[in-house]
Amino acid sequence: MDSNEKAVVYVRLKEGVLDPQGLTIHKALLQMGYSDFLSVRSGRFFELEINSECADIDRKIGEVCSRLLSNPVIEEFTVERIR
């Protein structure tokens, strides 16, 4: 029996925060002739493998998201649990 759980954390810039990486990619797309792409926003994700015997998994995931994986001032995160 696999005793591990998985979770994926998606981190994206809050709405309204400038995304230089996305803007640069969008500019490159236009220069390459892909004029149907209207905007690009970039983000990061992290696939976490977690000991399923861990107590309080959801709380710990939330903690590491705001303490390590994201910058709460300018970023928001969503968590997807995979059982």
* 79 makes contact with a copy of itself (CB under 8 A): no
Q: Is 68 in the site for a copy of itself (CB under 8 A)?
A: yes
Among 25, 62, 75, 76, binds a copy of itself (CB under 8 A): 25
Give yes or no for residue 62 binding a copy of itself (CB under 8 A): no
Burial class of residue 65 (count of CB atoms within 10 Å of its CB; 0-12, 13-18, 19+): buried
**Helix/strand/coil for 62:** helix
Distance from the first to the final alpha carbon of the chain:
13
Q: Contact with a copy of itself (CB under 8 A): which of 23, 57, 76, 79?
A: 57
Instruction: Give Cβ neighbours of residue 50 (< 8 Å, ≥ 6 apart).
Output: 4, 5, 6, 7, 57, 61
Residues forming contacts to a copy of itself in the complex (CB under 8 A) are 4, 10, 12, 22, 25, 28-29, 32, 34, 36-51, 53-54, 57, 60, 63-64, 67-69
